[in-house]
Structure 1
Amino acid sequence: MIAEIERIEVIIEEFLTLAKSKKETAYKPKQLCRILQHVALLLNTHASYRDCQITTDLTAVDAWIYCEENALKQVFINVIQNAIESMTRGTVHISLKTEGSLAVVEITDEGCGMEESVLQKIGEPFFSTKETGTGLGLMISYKIIEQHKGKMTFTSKIGLGTKVEIMLPIVLNCEKES
């Protein structure tokens, strides 16, 4: 009974996050590589527990974006946790590059991969491939990226893993915060 109550609590928290996302949020300029470094550090223990590692290639790009930092962290945590959970051992690689006026975050894993039919359903409410998944995490992540005027795409091959690309507009001229 306690496990089911905890599951209901998670679902309610996800609904509350979705409901909160409709209000206006104060976006501030933030350095994207710092956000990604913080998330990677946060998830290293979870990765180690599953005999996985997280590698990064973030230092070459100094991309600043307007964002609500905690919302973006939620997206990156969700995507990286999904990557870790798709493997029994392996590597999740996080990289950052720029393409024109966009910062592009690539998160790749060496997991089991997904069929095209599954890829087409990613982000739909209540769709999950996990036994205990609510099917709300990626739906909320898509919404957060959309609110940041960005885009998120998935490519995957069975047995080879999955790549998630998150594209966000770069701040060109502003007073930057750390």
Structure 2
Amino acid sequence: MQREINGMTIECRRGDITDQPDIDIIVNAANKQLKGGGGVDGAINRAAGPKLVEASLKRAPIEAGEAVITDAFELPNRHVVHCVGPVYSQSQPVAAQLASCYRTAMQLAEDHGAASIAFPAISCGVYGYPLDEAADIALGTVADCASRAQSVKTVRFVLFSQDVLAAFERALSAH
């Protein structure tokens, strides 16, 4: 599914974020120490090779809502943006932190002249963010960034499972 918002194509598809050769920047759902881990983080680090962890460790630690950028090494992309999503809780400013992940990644893509960026569903795995709420924040933040984007013309959400894809498609339809 895809939509055009303010001249930017935003799409949702099921797939593997490490296999997006037509995308300039992919986003990693990283941990605060940027040392690799499981899920999306582990898959990206395995595909990129050991130099990705070496490069990202030099930028650690970062906090929830923050992001840094590195080269992509053995991935078919130019760069990887490493975002630390919040662990879901009703007592913390998690919505603002999650939105910050997407906004900061979009700004880093602009700063590096990227035409395209691909996101996973940040914080929706072991960090426990409810899918519909996370998808709404993700799509709303990216749609808001579309009005200011200069270089980024394509945003792809690459989602691993059918239930996550369905949540993100519902959110895209609403924005």
Q: Specify the TM-score bucket, using the shorter chain as the normaliser.
A: under 0.3
Structure with higher RCO (Cα < 8 A, 6+ apart) = 2
Q: Tell me the TM-score normalised to structure 1 length.
A: 0.26
Q: Tell me the TM-score normalised to structure 2 length.
A: 0.26
Higher strand share: 1
